[in-house]
Structure 1
Amino acid sequence: MRDSELKVVDLFCGCGGMSMGFEKAGFNVVASYDNWDPAIAVYRLNFQHPIYKRDLLDTKDVSDIASHKPDVIIGGPPCQDFSSAGHRDETLGRANLTLSYADIITKILPRFFVMENVPTIKKSEKLEIIKRQFKEAGYGLSELVLDASLCGVPQKRKRFFLIGHLGGVDEALLPFLKKHLATKSLTLHDYFGDTLGFEYYFRVPRSYSRRGIFSIYEPAMTVRGVDRPVPKGYPGHPGDPIPMNDSIRTLTIEERSQFQTFPKDFRYEGSKTVVNQMIGNAVPVNLAKYVATALKEYIYASIS
């Protein structure tokens, strides 16, 4: 089987981190779906295949998605209601999109699916519900929390992945997901060298009990969906690598995008607030590529 024969549909695709990662691993992404107009517009700027605007809560008729005959369905249902940066309240509605994702999978029954979310979903009732649904549909399930800094991303970002193989065995993918993990975290300097033009930068902490100044000689902290300027009177923190000074600034949109391992020529449009949100929501490209590569190796091993 050639890579180009492995057809992928991306649900909740956002601006395309998962799609790009799977394309870089050699999969053929044939279509994507989202319901947020700004992300759809940016996706269209950067990909050749079609993206469709669709309310993915509506799973009564999924024939439009099924028509692409995907071998793999990928997607990261919005995670705000599970996230430590969000509400951690499953009753607010966004968590229902995780149930919708499972409904779509179990109606179409692709050979494989890959679902991404925040690690705190492991504590949620919704995850147990969908895992039972997948098992009843005949999927073998593998689940793992991956640290992006061990997967080719210069960022301390942990994400949960649930991968299903129709007719497969539980945990069969774990050796493939683990075998290429780096032994140490990738730093910004490892990834960019001296091309960034700075050594230190500021990220507004959630409270001043946390540090705000970071070095390129460590992985970046998680790129969030909001970006604020350096606050006046930042008091400093014992964990800061150097004291605050006038040369230290927050990151630009382009830098935040590249920290997510989007290529330098990836194009955005829209307000700064909207673009920052879609960058923060995205799956880092190289993390998606890492998972896609592991899945591809598993597929070839299982058919050889």
Structure 2
Amino acid sequence: MREIKVVDLFCGCGGMSLGFQNMGFDVVAAFDHWKPALDVYRDNFEHNVFECDLYDSSAETIVQDFNPDLIIGGPPCQDFSSAGLSNHSSDRAWLINRYVDCVEAAQPEYFVMENVPRARLRPVFKAAVSRLRSLGYGLSSHVLDASYCGVPQHRKRLFLVGAVGAEDGFLESYVAEHLSDTPMSLREYFGGALDTDYYFRVPTNYGRRGVFSVDEPSLTIRAVDRPIPPGYTGHPEDPVAIGPQVRTFTVLERSYIQTFPHSFKFKGTKTNLNMMIGNAVPVKLAEFVANALKQYINENHIEYVRIKTAS
């Protein structure tokens, strides 16, 4: 693959950047507005990192100056999430438009935008799709369960991938080719390294179970972490009762379930670490998408010339 310069918008602590970098893409710059995540990002990457409010219209100019071939990133998704506010008219939802503004300004050949699956049902997302099509991008939309993509975690995410001049659905065969037939369990990924057979995750209500086996994929890693509450008395579907053989995962274990490598350096308060880890794109899920796009580029690339708007 020829060198593909990448800019990561809303980079967080770097899950998307690391996944694409691992697949041979050249990440040249990253942007975010949350300093704790950026401090971690800077400790793990050598390229340009900007503490930048994407609401600021100057962001497009900075992105454009890097002349990226590919823009990646996940505009904050809390307002689209079933666990969030479900307020698609809020400022967070509006950040999708800012992502598209940067794509329009920089005119990359490709983009990858990540979000929660519910986002595709929202008017602001549908409007962004229409706008991206008007800019000349063919679009390929994929809702992926990370456990079928090399991640030991049930975590569904939406990836909207664009390529200039491509047919809609251009990435479908490349994605389907590498999806696993079965979900990946924690034991399959870690072997015995977690040193437990059962773990606890606080259910959203006590009508649901809270104890799970490592022979299943993990539930979605959340942006919060809670100990086993004294009020939890068990559930009929728990594989074992609460006891010494059941524990919660540590902050670092949660990062490993997000498929960050052990060499990745984390620092900060427990609250901030849980938030940045829980909000991150799993590294191997990013690798999965990057690999599909890499194959497409290798097989379909034609010379692309940006059409610059006269000033």
Tell me the TM-score normalized by structure 1. Answer: 0.97
Structure 1 Cα separation of the partners of residues 119 and 133 of structure 2: 18
Which position in structure 1 is the counterpart of 2:52? 54
1:241 maps onto 2:239 in alignment: yes
Deviations 1:46-81 (A, max 9, x none): 111121011112235622111111110000000000
Residue 106 of structure 1: CA displacement? Answer: 1.4
Residue 214 of structure 1: CA displacement? Answer: 0.9
Change (3 A) 1:243 1:61: closer
Among candidates 180, 183, 208, match of residue 182 of structure 1: 180
Structure 1 Cα separation of the partners of residues 99 and 282 of structure 2: 20
* Partner-residue secondary structure (3-state), 1:29: strand
Aligned length: 302
Residue 268 of structure 1: CA displacement? Answer: 1.2
Deviations 1:197-243 (A, max 9, x none): 11111111111111111111000000000001110031211221111
Code of the residue aligned with 1:171 in structure 2: it is G
**Identity, % of aligned pairs?**
52
Code of the residue aligned with 1:139 in structure 2: it is Y
Which position in structure 2 is the counterpart of 1:26? 24
Code of the residue aligned with 2:120 in structure 1: it is K
Residue 163 of structure 1: CA displacement? Answer: 0.4
Structure 1 Cα separation of the partners of residues 66 and 212 of structure 2: 45
* Partner-residue secondary structure (3-state), 1:237: coil
* Partner-residue secondary structure (3-state), 1:90: coil
Residue 178 of structure 1: CA displacement? Answer: 1.4
Deviations 1:156-214 (A, max 9, x none): 00000000001211111111111100000000000000111111111111111111111
Which position in structure 2 is the counterpart of 1:263? 261
Which position in structure 1 is the counterpart of 2:199? 201
1:161 maps onto 2:159 in alignment: yes
The root-mean-square deviation of aligned C-alpha atoms, in Å, is 1.1
Code of the residue aligned with 1:30 in structure 2: it is V
The answer to which of 80-89 and 240-249 deviates more is 240-249
Deviations 1:282-302 (A, max 9, x none): 000000000000000001110
Which position in structure 2 is the counterpart of 1:279? 277
Structure 1 Cα separation of the partners of residues 264 and 64 of structure 2: 29
Contact 1:201/1:215, CA 8 A, preserved across alignment: yes
Q: Structure 1 segments of 4 or more deviating over 6 A?
A: none
Code of the residue aligned with 2:10 in structure 1: it is F
Contact 1:109/1:166, CA 8 A, preserved across alignment: no
* Partner-residue secondary structure (3-state), 1:133: helix
Which position in structure 1 is the counterpart of 2:308? none
Unaligned runs of 5+ in 1: none
Among candidates 73, 76, 84, match of residue 74 of structure 2: 76
Which position in structure 2 is the counterpart of 1:126? 124
Which position in structure 1 is the counterpart of 2:309? none
Structure 2 Cα separation of the partners of residues 8 and 177 of structure 1: 20
Among candidates 286, 292, 295, match of residue 290 of structure 2: 292
Structure 2 Cα separation of the partners of residues 265 and 24 of structure 1: 14
Code of the residue aligned with 1:228 in structure 2: it is R
Contact 1:9/1:32, CA 8 A, preserved across alignment: yes
Which position in structure 2 is the counterpart of 1:136? 134
1:102 maps onto 2:100 in alignment: yes
Which position in structure 1 is the counterpart of 2:65? 67
Code of the residue aligned with 1:268 in structure 2: it is F
Tell me the TM-score normalized by structure 2. Answer: 0.95
